[in-house]
Amino acid sequence: MTTLERLRDWNRTGILTDVQYHTLAAIVSRERISLFLELNAFLYIGVIALVGGLGWTFQTYFTDLGDSFILATFSLLCAGCLNYCFSRGLPYSHTEVESPSLAFDYVLYLGCLLLSAELAYIEFRFHLFRGAWDYYLLFTAAAFALLAYRFDNRFVLSLALASLAGWFGLKVSTFALTSPDSLRLSALMYGALVAGTGTALYRQRIKPHFLEAYLHVAANVVFAAIVSGVGGRSAGGLYLAALIVLSAAAIVLGVRFNRFVFVAYGAVYEYVGISVKVLEHVRGVTAVLAYFVVTGTLTIVSLALLARRFGRDE
């Protein structure tokens, strides 16, 4: 029995009203297609483009506009965004809270980006931070995290995690630890901290739906750090072994918890790491191309079959 036939039966038996039946039937038969994700993406890109345009304009024409005007513009716009959010936002809850309006999340995201742009302009013009950039990044990470939890916004949480990553990088350079191994260690520590923080908050039932955002960031950072070490001469084999174990864990847990994206992370990063090692022993352009055609096709087909399985399970 098809989905449309089931809907008709439910409509005949009174489980679905006529309005509900026609709405669901249109979606199932693809007469109506949701553009929610696409519209969200365009709106967020528009916010980023707006702030980027303001920053470029102010940086280019600051001598004509004047520092007072530029800082006042940034401050008023940022204050206006935050005032809108605090006055219109719903009360805080440890559980997921829906946005009070369609524009709410974008206004909050705009306010956070404006704050970052204003601080960057202050440094560009007056060099107030100088050797204290780590404190600036730590402050913005804390501010964005508080706003993300207060208003239940994953995009602002991503800004907080990005600022925290910048703080980790500056801390490493402060101690003159700029070798690849020290940077990898910093990335692994950052990934462990992000995953651990997300897991701890999840267990405390504080915004548990944020866990995936933490895990996405941590997984990509840790995988990238390990893959970057696979090509090393001294410890390349150890990094490859760690990559295989971690990829297997991501695939198994992704299948267990029905999260295909983590299965894809494990498969893709493992493929990249193994390819780095294999290509060390492959000579000739033809052999390299043949390797990528064969193995790349097998990887894509395998992921496509897995994706179809996940789609059926959901």
With a cut of 60, say whether residue 21 has pLDDT above it.
yes
Mean pLDDT of 56-68: 78
Spatial separation of the C-alpha atoms in residues 270 and 140, rounded to whole Å? 34
pTM of the model: 0.78
- Domain housing 53: 35-178
Examine the domain organization and report whether 139 and 263 are in the same domain. no
Q: What digits encode the pLDDT tens for the residues 234-284?
A: 788 899 999 999 999 999 999 888 888 999 999 999 999 999 888 888 888
Q: Is residue 196 part of a domain?
A: no
Spatial separation of the C-alpha atoms in residues 161 and 197, rounded to whole Å? 11
Spatial separation of the C-alpha atoms in residues 244 and 262, rounded to whole Å? 14
> How many residues are given for the chain?
314
Examine the domain organization and report whether 58 and 151 are in the same domain. yes
Examine the domain organization and report whether 148 and 268 are in the same domain. no
Mean pLDDT of 214-237: 88
Q: Is residue 187 part of a domain?
A: no
Examine the domain organization and report whether 293 and 311 are in the same domain. yes
Examine the domain organization and report whether 285 and 307 are in the same domain. yes
Spatial separation of the C-alpha atoms in residues 11 and 283, rounded to whole Å? 65
Q: Is residue 145 part of a domain?
A: yes
Query: CA geometry: angle at 270 spanning 266 and 275, to 5°?
Result: 155
In this structure, what token pair is assigned to residue 306? 């897995």
Examine the domain organization and report whether 275 and 160 are in the same domain. no
Half-sphere exposure of 99 (CA within 13 A, CB side): 14
Q: Is residue 20 part of a domain?
A: yes
149, 178, 207 — which closes off a domain? 178
Examine the domain organization and report whether 73 and 155 are in the same domain. yes
Query: 10: which residues sit within 8 A by CB, 6+ positions away?
Result: 16, 21
Examine the domain organization and report whether 153 and 51 are in the same domain. yes
Spatial separation of the C-alpha atoms in residues 226 and 83, rounded to whole Å? 43
Q: Is residue 190 part of a domain?
A: no
Examine the domain organization and report whether 150 and 43 are in the same domain. yes
Q: Which has the minimum average pLDDT: 26-30, 142-146, 148-152? A: 26-30
Examine the domain organization and report whether 21 and 128 are in the same domain. no
Spatial separation of the C-alpha atoms in residues 227 and 236, rounded to whole Å? 9
Q: Is residue 144 part of a domain?
A: yes
Which SS3 state, helix, strand or coil, does residue 193 take?
Answer: helix
Spatial separation of the C-alpha atoms in residues 211 and 157, rounded to whole Å? 11
Q: How many CB atoms lie within 10 A of CB 32?
A: 12
Helix (H) or strand (E) holding 219: helix 211-230
Q: Is residue 240 part of a domain?
A: yes
Looking at the 3D structure of the chain, how many domains does it have?
3
178, 196, 231 — which closes off a domain? 178
Examine the domain organization and report whether 155 and 50 are in the same domain. yes
Examine the domain organization and report whether 249 and 227 are in the same domain. yes
Q: Is residue 198 part of a domain?
A: no
